[in-house]
Amino acid sequence: MDKLQMYIDGRYTDAANGEWFESDNPFTGQPWALIAKGGPDDVELAVQAAHRAFTTGPWPEMTASQRGHLLRKLGDLVARDAKRLADLEVQDNGKLIAEMQAQCNYVPQWYYYFGGLADKIQGAVVPLDKKGYFNFTRHEPLGVAALITAWNSPLLLLAWKLAPALAAGCTAVVKPSEFTSASTLAFVKLVEEAGFPPGVVNVVTGFGRDVGNALVGHPLVRKVAFTGSDATGRAINELAAKQFKRVTLELGGKSPNIVFNDAKLDDAVNGAVSGIFAATGQTCIAGSRLLLQEDIHDQFVEKLLALAKTARMGDPKSLETQVGPITTRPQYEKVLGYIDVAKNDGAELLMGGGPATRPECGNGWFVEPTVFSGVKNDMRIAQEEVFGPVLSVIKFRDEEEALAIANGVRFGLGAGVWTNDIGRAIRMSERIQAGTVWVNTYRAVSYMTPFGGYKDSGIGRENGQDAIREYLQVKSTWINTGAPSGNPFVLK
């Protein structure tokens, strides 16, 4: 089996304790690589290296334009190696090669965009209310950033964090998910090739309770950016708060996809199916609650099932495959558990409802695309994130009821609205509590526009110009240009 080392202070290294753990291929259910099993000692080395690189040596000496140049170079290298990175990702996380190729081809845009933004972060001259003073602001990098990613889209989620962090002038310690470390370890070789100084980007592999926890709690880490579960996000937020660290948390959702009776139904069917079954439902923005206006409910469900049943399952390496395996064994068990919960709570099973045993699925962790109707919004299947190919269909009467259902969950990441009535589209987009609203489309994401959650879906924004501010702090400087220095005990 391949042995994949960590990357600390510009060197590839085993874990300090010499231990390794296995990474599995979700299609075969078998281990294919050994990953260095880091712990607190490795975190200490990596954070110290990142802190040294932040405070001394070439990185803090660089102009913002030079940082931008390095980022654009990194983007070019990712573009050059996109195919290799996509193949590696499919082997490690089981997502479809078609999706991973598209994703790895898109990832360079983050490095180009934030590379371009690096030297456009400007402070202001403040027109003060006091004579004899000059005041200006500048935006300074926070320091060492801990970037903790999940397994569903490792290199994309990393780009969302690393590109703005480096553009801002921070240094980074990256911790990929223990389920999918391989692509990040391949990517970091491109960081080195691009010419980033040692210590600017470090990767420590291992488990959340060892590496993740030690990173978040390290006093030299000033920023934590995280994508993952709300439970882990809460624990990270609590720990980070003790040392007043800035956090960006992206914690998933229970997003409504709302179809009104005046919508173009065939388009909405495509949007509903891709909303939940793309990436085997393993996306934070999965449209896992399909809200249908009552008078189109039956015909819509009929069309939806007809389309969903055509999905070809099988080897994610094949371009023909449309639904792949679940990435991790615990996640596979979690998805099946939720299917049982929905059945027991009285939801009506229309399709799927268990493990996929088709021959083309081999020994992989496959779940049949599953659709429940008759779901009530207070059922667990409508309230909790499943993160798999399981759709809950919920009926509504009118706009008010649709809104109450849409907002009646503790999450608020995304929402889809399908309607031909522009007034309704605008009213709904105003009143839905979510960081992203799509009208007559679903799942579109870009490096140019902010992404993040309302309510329990998270804190802060990734992507777009707002994202770089998450890695900066503002300093205000006062200069006396002639104000008299009087007796301090005589207030004027």
CA pair distance 436, 200, nearest whole angstrom: 32
Q: Point out which span in 67-75, 150-158, 240-248, 362-370 binds ligand TXE (CB under 6 A).
A: 150-158
Nearer to ligand TXE, 199 or 458 (CB): 458
Q: Of 106, 114, 151, 300, which lies in the binding site for ligand TXE, with binding defined by CB under 6 A?
A: 151
Q: Is 455 in the site for ligand TXE (CB under 6 A)?
A: no
On the 0-12 / 13-18 / 19+ scale of CB atoms within 10 A, 187 is buried
Q: Point out which span in 11-19, 202-210, 257-265, 266-274 binds ligand TXE (CB under 6 A).
A: 202-210
Q: Point out which span in 18-26, 33-41, 53-61, 222-230 binds ligand TXE (CB under 6 A).
A: 222-230
Catalytic residue, chosen from 99, 178, 192, 284, is 284
CB of 212 to ligand TXE, least distance (A): 2
User: Taking the CA of residue 267 as centre, how many other CA atoms within 13 Å lie in the half-sphere pointing to its CB?
Assistant: 16
Q: Is 229 in the site for ligand TXE (CB under 6 A)?
A: yes
Contact code string over 373-402 relative to ligand TXE, x by CB under 6 A: ------------x-x---------------
Tokens linked to 2 = 């391949």
> Among 303, 288, 296, which Cα is nearest to 260's?
296
Q: For this structure, is 368 an active site residue?
A: no
CA pair distance 206, 38, nearest whole angstrom: 5
Q: Which amino acid is it at 164? A: P
Strand 414-418 to strand 6-8: parallel, antiparallel, or no bridges (unpaired)? unpaired
> Among 171, 230, 179, 232, which Cα is nearest to 203's?
171
Q: Of 25, 48, 101, 177, which lies in the binding site for ligand TXE, with binding defined by CB under 6 A?
A: 177
Q: For this structure, is 250 an active site residue?
A: yes
Q: Point out which span in 75-83, 225-233, 339-347, 433-441 binds ligand TXE (CB under 6 A).
A: 225-233
Which residue is it, tokens 């009646």?
Answer: 408
Which ranges in 58-181 belong to alpha helices (H)? 58-61, 64-80, 82-93, 97-106, 108-117, 154-168
User: Taking the CA of residue 324 as centre, how many other CA atoms within 13 Å lie in the half-sphere pointing to its CB?
Assistant: 29
Which residue is it, tokens 């691009």?
Answer: 194
How many C-beta atoms surround the C-beta of residue 224 within 10 A? 25
CB of 40 to ligand TXE, least distance (A): 12
Catalytic residue, chosen from 99, 192, 250, 385, is 250
Nearer to ligand TXE, 216 or 356 (CB): 216
Q: Is 178 in the site for ligand TXE (CB under 6 A)?
A: yes
Binding site for ligand TXE (CB under 6 A): 148-152, 175, 177-178, 207-209, 212-213, 216, 227-229, 232, 235-236, 250-252, 284, 331, 334, 385, 387
